[in-house]
Amino acid sequence: MNVIQKIEQQIKDNIILIYMKGTPEAPSCGFSAQAVRALSVCGEKFAYVDVLENTDIRNELPKYANWPTFPQLWIDGKLIGGCSIILEMLESGDLKKIILDTVKKYQV
């Protein structure tokens, strides 16, 4: 499996996925920390990939997503955006709505 296939599989396998620097418990940059806090407020589980531990993904994902920075939030296979977009969506209530709607869509 090449790097692009790995990225596509991760996005497909995880309803809510954040590509970040560090881990949710120990973010390695302020932007990742803010994004994780925003996701945590929404109350749903999410997956993460530490791009500092996965240099192949760190190098290829910006080209694949056409988004140059980290963190990157993906929900239901779609790129939502980075830290500032995540925070704006949290503030407006849109982040929680899209997360809850997406989670509900996949509940059986």
pTM above 0.75? yes
Domain boundaries, the chain: 3-106
- The answer to whether 37 is annotated as binding is no
Query: Both tokens of residue 73?
Result: 């939030």
- The answer to whether 83 is annotated as binding is yes
- Hey, which residues does 54 pair with through a beta bridge? none
Asked whether residue 57 carries a pLDDT value surpassing 80, the answer given is: yes
- The answer to whether 21 is annotated as binding is yes
Percent of the chain with pLDDT over 90: 96
Cis status of the peptide bond prior to 24, with omega within 30 of 0:
no
pLDDT score for 1:
86
Average pLDDT over residues 45-72: 97
CATH topology of domain 3-106: Glutaredoxin (3.40.30)
pLDDT score for 17:
98
Is residue 20 within 8 A of residue 35, CB to CB? The reply is: yes
Taking the C-alpha atoms of residue 74 and residue 47, their distance in angstroms, rounded to an integer, is 10
Asked whether residue 73 carries a pLDDT value surpassing 80, the answer given is: yes
- The answer to whether 70 is annotated as binding is yes
Average pLDDT over residues 4-31: 98
